[in-house]
């Protein structure tokens, strides 16, 4: 499963669809056939895993497939489900089952049945397992998110550090109009750029770069009189909400 941003750069912050108008200079996010096909196949594959066939006249097939999934794989632990562990008993459930087994073992020991763990042994083992799962939960962190494109961004969700980059053209001895960052900053720490167009130095110098004019926009500049330039830029700062 991928967001629409995997197929187009014309997206809002964090890879979401955006409104826009071509006449207003901001194109809306296009509905790419590749993305629609991906969503269709994700849904169809899940339905076909639990139902015999797709039915164009039945709009409840996804619901029926989810219900069939729930019947096939009942949730054993709501506590562990948040960590992707759904095929496990809770400790009270395990204690109840193991208590019966241990008590039966003690009762039946007089009849030569001695190949069973006692409740104390099982409780100790389960306590170790619960501690290990607790450590896993404590070290769990959100994954980083990113828009990997020519004009893109990367967010470190553990710290809130937002890194953005891109490129653009600037005419000779000029500065561009304000350009929107791929996603807004809360605060810009640094923004800089450098021209990559070859053989573009003249008597007026060779300076070119980028500067942030707000938390949401930047500008490219080129001091070379005789040549336009392609400028690569990079900015780092703090993401909104951190």
Share of the chain above pLDDT 90, in %: 39
DSSP H stretches of helix in 140-225: none
The Cα 235–Cα 162 span in angstroms is 8
Pairing of strands 161-170, 152-156: antiparallel
Assess contact for 168 and 176: CB atoms under 8 A: yes
Could you state, in order of their start, the residue ranges of all structural domains in the chain? 4-72, 78-139, 145-238
Of residues 93, 86, 80, 75, the one with CA closest to residue 137 = 80
Long-range contacts: 198-202, Cβ < 8 Å, 24+?
A: 199/227, 200/224, 200/227, 200/228, 200/229, 201/227, 202/226, 202/227
The Cα 240–Cα 232 span in angstroms is 24
The pLDDT of residue 231 is 92
Rg (CA), the chain: 29
Positive/negative CA dihedral, 68, 73, 76, 77: negative
Share of the chain above pLDDT 70, in %: 77
Name the packing angle between helices 33-50 and 61-72 (round to 10°): 50
Say how many Å lie between the first and final Cα of the chain, rounded.
27
Residues with pLDDT less than 70, the chain? 73-88, 99-117, 134-143, 198-205
The pLDDT of residue 104 is 53
What's the longest Cα–Cα distance across the chain? 103
Phi and psi dihedrals of 197, rounded to 5?
Answer: -70, 125
The pLDDT of residue 124 is 83
* DSSP string of 85-122, one letter each residue: --S---HHHHHHHHHHHHHHHHHHGGGT---S--HHHH
The pLDDT of residue 200 is 58
pTM of the entire predicted model:
0.42
Residues 6-43: pLDDT tens digits?
Answer: 889 888 888 899 988 877 788 899 988 998 999 999 99
Hey, how many other C-beta atoms are within 10 angstroms of the C-beta on 8? 17
The fold adopted by the segment(s) 145-238 is Immunoglobulin-like (2.60.40)
């Amino acid at each position: 499963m991928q967001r629409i941003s995997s197929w187009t750069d014309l997206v809002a912050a964090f890879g979401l669809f955006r409104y826009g108008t071509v006449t207003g200079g901001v194109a809306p996010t296009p509905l790419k056939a590749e993305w629609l096909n991906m969503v269709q196949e994700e849904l169809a594959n899940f339905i076909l895993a639990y139902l015999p066939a797709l039915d164009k006249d039945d709009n409840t097939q996804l619901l029926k497939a989810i219900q069939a999934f729930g019947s096939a794989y009942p949730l054993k632990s709501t506590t562990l489900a948040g960590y992707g562990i759904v095929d496990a008993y809770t400790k009270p459930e395990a204690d109840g089952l193991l208590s019966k087994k241990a008590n039966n073992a003690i009762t039946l020991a007089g009849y030569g049945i001695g190949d069973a763990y006692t409740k104390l042994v099982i409780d100790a083992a389960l306590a170790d397992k619960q501690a290990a799962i607790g450590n896993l939960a404590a070290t769990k962190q959100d994954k980083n998110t990113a828009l990997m494109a020519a004009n893109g961004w990367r967010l470190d969700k553990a710290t809130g550090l937002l890194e953005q980059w891109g490129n653009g053209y600037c005419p000779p001895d000029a500065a561009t109009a304000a350009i929107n960052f791929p996603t807004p900053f809360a605060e810009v720490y640094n923004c800089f750029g450098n021209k990559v167009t070859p053989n573009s130095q003249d008597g007026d110098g060779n300076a070119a770069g980028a500067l942030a004019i707000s938390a949401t926009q930047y500008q490219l500049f080129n001091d070379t009189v005789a040549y336009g330039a392609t400028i690569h830029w990079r900015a780092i700062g703090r993401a909104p909400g951190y």
